[in-house]
């Protein structure tokens, strides 16, 4: 039995923030959860799936985030409690439906859980989902620690049902992927009955059809939506998760939320400022609780905002202060705008320490400067930086190798549009700098579709795009349909590594099993592409020469969109992990090292971590611990020095 459904009295476990959100949902009697994988959010759906049978849940990895919200919304319309979950970038994808859902409202409690990634530790950008709460006109809650990440969820479900609208709960990497002690509450019975009532009057919140349609009559739905926000603001005035610690009349008030509240508390404590600084930790960050804020602003002459990414608290609390100016007097504000905290990147205790040390003119030093200086000098000398690279045995390295060679051989200045997945490293040395554009999920195909139509303006460069198998279903299919229909002659290289690899092998519509372990229809990408009208070839990327030939052939074919499916499971996938196909060795007598005509192409360019340059012996050699025995490097050595022997 999973610890997530521990029913022991006073049970307490060390939980990740993501697990705490799951436990909170179970304590709230959740019925349906849907999402699309993305760091740091992916563990939430996986945890739900582990207890789905015991707790009578329906859980799915949806095709994309918009579909996930729609699936969860259906459950809410039928009176169940549901949740949809995604990383910040997913909210962009889901936003169209979310805007309409916020207008129609919901029935059973429904949460949008977003996990932001300040500092873009595992993202292509430093997104900020909090701004969506303002745009969508829905309430936003931000838990401040692990216990609260659990406790706030039942409260959020209740709020959603009180105001009949979706409620957004935002976590960040340092909560989602950090762990802390969480005391459990009781689990409710799991019986739930779903029924969609639609026979009542239009816009009746309980019995009418669920329709977002306010053509020329904004008062019909936008009016009630604004009333819901007013109710939420009123409820937020007494929300138990908004807390204040510090003296009654502090010299400085810190206004903060989320993981930043922990950094603030630590910094204040380290500097010994607990009697001089108060911390107002807000869990309800949109709409803001005006009276609560006014009360705390009135008590302090100086305010410091501690938050990550966009200065949203800073901007909106300043408005509250300005509106109450006559009552509470002028304030001195510190934060991102004053330059006391950075406007980008994630925060940490040190950045808050530096801000407080500057404001209070209290000197602070983490470690003696002489020591840190000496060790930093040693690190610069002895600890070479660790660049990002593909895993040993990764099919993407082999794919990019062939793509790069095909483009060079073609000789017309062709280029590749990049997409989202492990293969973003196609923009870097790890992927031989092959990709020349990189934006959002599926965008490579759309951009390539556009480039393909520029021939009439004299553009003669062949155009290619990459996408992964999960990305294909998520967002590349509409772009491919566009290219086929518009006869845009680009070549899509569909890098099918048999799962959503980057985030941990979540299934997608092309997978034979779903997250619950059920056998499900696997959509055949090859057949889909053919049926859509593309010219399709399939190749094993580990066969470098054949892949290169097929790609060169497709690049020459000028009439419409073409797809090359590069099919080979990820090296970390369950089907390949721990299995060696070949015993690979370097025949030192044949490796000519730097004197070889290839100028040691194997280590200098190919760059597999399993194949290393021995600077002393001046030969390449296999690192037995790292090599996974894919044998691809044997094909790139012109001297035949890399030898692979099939393992029976």
The residues that touch other proteins, with contacts defined as CB under 8 A, are 12-14, 39-40, 121-123, 145-146, 173-175, 177-181, 259, 262-263, 265-267, 269-270, 348-350, 353, 365-368, 371-372, 374-376, 378-379, 381-391, 422, 429-430, 600, 603-605, 607-609, 611-613, 615, 623, 625-626
Q: What is the number of residues in the chain?
A: 648
Query: Whose Cβ is closer to other proteins: residue 523's or residue 626's?
Result: 626
Q: How far apart (Å, rounded) are the C-alpha atoms in residues 450 and 454? A: 7
Q: Give the angle 348-284-90 at the CA atoms, nearest 5°.
A: 70
Least Å distance, CB 392 to other proteins, is: 9
Going through 204-309 in order, the beta strands assigned E by DSSP cover 243-245, 252-256, 277-281, 284-286, 302-306
Query: Whose Cβ is closer to other proteins: residue 166's or residue 466's?
Result: 466
Whether the CB-CB separation of 308 and 174 falls below 8 Å is answered with: no
Query: Whose Cβ is closer to other proteins: residue 382's or residue 457's?
Result: 382
Give, in order, the Cα–Cα distances in Å from 43 to each of 46, 106, 185, 465. 5, 26, 21, 30
Query: Whose Cβ is closer to other proteins: residue 290's or residue 348's?
Result: 348
* Eight-state DSSP code of residue 461: -
Least Å distance, CB 263 to other proteins, is: 5
Query: Whose Cβ is closer to other proteins: residue 260's or residue 525's?
Result: 260
Residue 85's beta-bridge partner residues? 35, 113
Least Å distance, CB 279 to other proteins, is: 13
Least Å distance, CB 613 to other proteins, is: 4
Least Å distance, CB 122 to other proteins, is: 3
Name the residue among 443, 393, 325 with its Cα closest to residue 606: 393
Give SS3 for 301. Answer: coil
Least Å distance, CB 173 to other proteins, is: 8
Query: Whose Cβ is closer to other proteins: residue 484's or residue 630's?
Result: 630
Query: Whose Cβ is closer to other proteins: residue 216's or residue 370's?
Result: 370
Q: How far apart (Å, rounded) are the C-alpha atoms in residues 253 and 582? A: 63
Least Å distance, CB 413 to other proteins, is: 27
Query: Whose Cβ is closer to other proteins: residue 124's or residue 532's?
Result: 124
Query: Whose Cβ is closer to other proteins: residue 333's or residue 613's?
Result: 613
Least Å distance, CB 572 to other proteins, is: 8
Whether the CB-CB separation of 249 and 299 falls below 8 Å is answered with: yes
* Phi and psi at residue 87, to the nearest 5°: -85, 175
Per-residue exposure over 143-163, b if at least 16 CB sit within 10 Å of its own CB, e if not: bbbbbbbbbbbbbbbebbbeb
Q: Which DSSP string corresponds to 123-159? A: SSS---THHHHHHHT--EE---SHHHHHHHHHHHHHH
Query: Whose Cβ is closer to other proteins: residue 39's or residue 539's?
Result: 39
Sign of CA dihedral 488, 491, 494, 495: negative
Quick one: CA torsion of 159, 165, 166, 170, rounded to 10 degrees? -50
Whether the CB-CB separation of 552 and 464 falls below 8 Å is answered with: no
- DSSP H or E run through 32: strand 32-35
* Phi and psi at residue 166, to the nearest 5°: -65, 140
Query: Whose Cβ is closer to other proteins: residue 14's or residue 558's?
Result: 14
Q: Give the angle 153-156-160 at the CA atoms, nearest 5°.
A: 140
Q: How far apart (Å, rounded) are the C-alpha atoms in residues 77 and 95? A: 19
Least Å distance, CB 474 to other proteins, is: 19
Least Å distance, CB 172 to other proteins, is: 10
Least Å distance, CB 618 to other proteins, is: 10
Q: Give the angle 390-394-399 at the CA atoms, nearest 5°.
A: 95
Query: Whose Cβ is closer to other proteins: residue 28's or residue 262's?
Result: 262
Least Å distance, CB 302 to other proteins, is: 23
């Amino acid at each position: 039995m999973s610890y997530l459904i521990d029913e022991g009295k006073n049970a307490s476990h060390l939980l990740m923030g993501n697990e705490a959100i799951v436990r909170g949902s179970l304590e709230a009697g959740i019925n349906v959860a849907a999402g699309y994988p993305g760091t740091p959010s992916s563990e939430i759906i996986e945890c739900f799936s582990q207890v789905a049978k015991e707790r009578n849940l329906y859980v799915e990895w949806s095709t994309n985030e918009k579909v996930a919200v729609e699936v969860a919304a259906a459950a809410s319309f039928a009176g169940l409690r549901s949740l949809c979950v995604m990383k910040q970038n997913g909210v962009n994808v889901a936003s169209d439906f979310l805007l309409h859902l916020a207008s129609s409202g919901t029935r059973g409690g429904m949460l949008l859980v977003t996990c932001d990634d300040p500092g873009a530790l595992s993202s292509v950008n430093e997104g900020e989902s909090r701004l969506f709460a303002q745009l969508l006109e829905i309430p936003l809650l931000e838990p401040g620690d692990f216990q609260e990440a659990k406790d706030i969820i039942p409260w959020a479900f209740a709020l959603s049902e009180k105001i009949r609208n979706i409620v957004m709960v935002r976590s960040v990497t340092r909560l989602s992927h950090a762990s802390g002690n969480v005391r459990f509450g009781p689990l409710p019975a799991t019986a739930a009955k779903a029924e969609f009532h639609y026979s009542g009057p239009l816009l009746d919140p309980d019995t009418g059809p669920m329709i977002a349609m306010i053509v020329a009559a904004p008062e019909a739905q936008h009016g009630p939506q604004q009333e819901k926000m007013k109710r939420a603001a009123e409820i937020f005035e007494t929300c138990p998760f908004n807390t204040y610690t510090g003296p009654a009349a502090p010299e400085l008030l810190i206004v903060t939320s989320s993981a930043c509240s922990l950094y603030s508390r630590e910094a204040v404590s380290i500097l010994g400022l607990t009697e001089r600084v108060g911390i107002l930790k807000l869990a309800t960050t949109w709409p803001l609780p005006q009276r609560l804020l006014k009360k705390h602003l009135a008590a302090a002459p100086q305010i410091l905002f501690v938050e990550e990414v966009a200065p949203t608290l800073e901007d909106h609390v300043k408005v509250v202060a300005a509106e109450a100016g006559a009552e509470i007097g002028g304030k001195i504000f510190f934060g991102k705008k004053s330059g006391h905290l950075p406007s980008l990147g994630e925060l940490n205790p040190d950045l808050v320490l530096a801000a407080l040390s500057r404001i209070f003119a209290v000197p602070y030093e983490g470690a003696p400067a002489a020591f840190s200086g000496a060790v930093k000098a040693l690190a610069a000398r002895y600890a070479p930086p660790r660049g990002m690279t593909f895993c040993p045995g990764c099919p993407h390295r082999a794919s990019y190798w062939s793509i790069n060679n095909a483009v060079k051989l073609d000789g017309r200045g062709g280029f590749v549009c990049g997409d989202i997945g492990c293969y973003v490293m196609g923009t870097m040395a790890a992927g031989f700098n092959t990709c020349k554009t990189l934006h959002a999920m599926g965008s490579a195909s759309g951009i390539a579709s556009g480039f393909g139509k520029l021939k009439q303006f004299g553009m003669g460069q062949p155009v290619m795009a990459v996408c992964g198998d999960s990305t294909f279903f998520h967002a590349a299919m509409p772009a491919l349909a566009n290219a086929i229909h518009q006869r845009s002659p680009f070549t899509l290289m569909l890098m099918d590594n048999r799962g959503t690899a980057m985030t941990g092998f979540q299934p997608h519509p092309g997978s034979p099993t779903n997250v619950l372990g059920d056998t499900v229809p696997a959509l055949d990408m090859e057949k889909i592409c053919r049926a859509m009208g593309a010219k399709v070839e399939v190749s094993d990327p580990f066969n470098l020469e054949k892949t290169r030939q097929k790609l060169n052939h497709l690049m020459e074919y000028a009439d419409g969109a073409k797809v090359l499916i590069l099919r080979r499971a990820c090296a970390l996938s369950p089907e390949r992990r721990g299995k060696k196909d070949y015993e690979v060795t370097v025949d030192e007598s044949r490796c000519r090292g730097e004197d070889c005509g290839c100028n040691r192409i194997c280590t200098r360019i190919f760059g597999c971590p399993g194949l290393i340059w021995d600077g002393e012996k001046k030969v390449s050699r296999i690192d037995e611990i790292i090599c996974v025995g894919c044998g691809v490097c044997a094909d790139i050595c012109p001297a035949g020095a890399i030898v692979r022997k099939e393992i029976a």
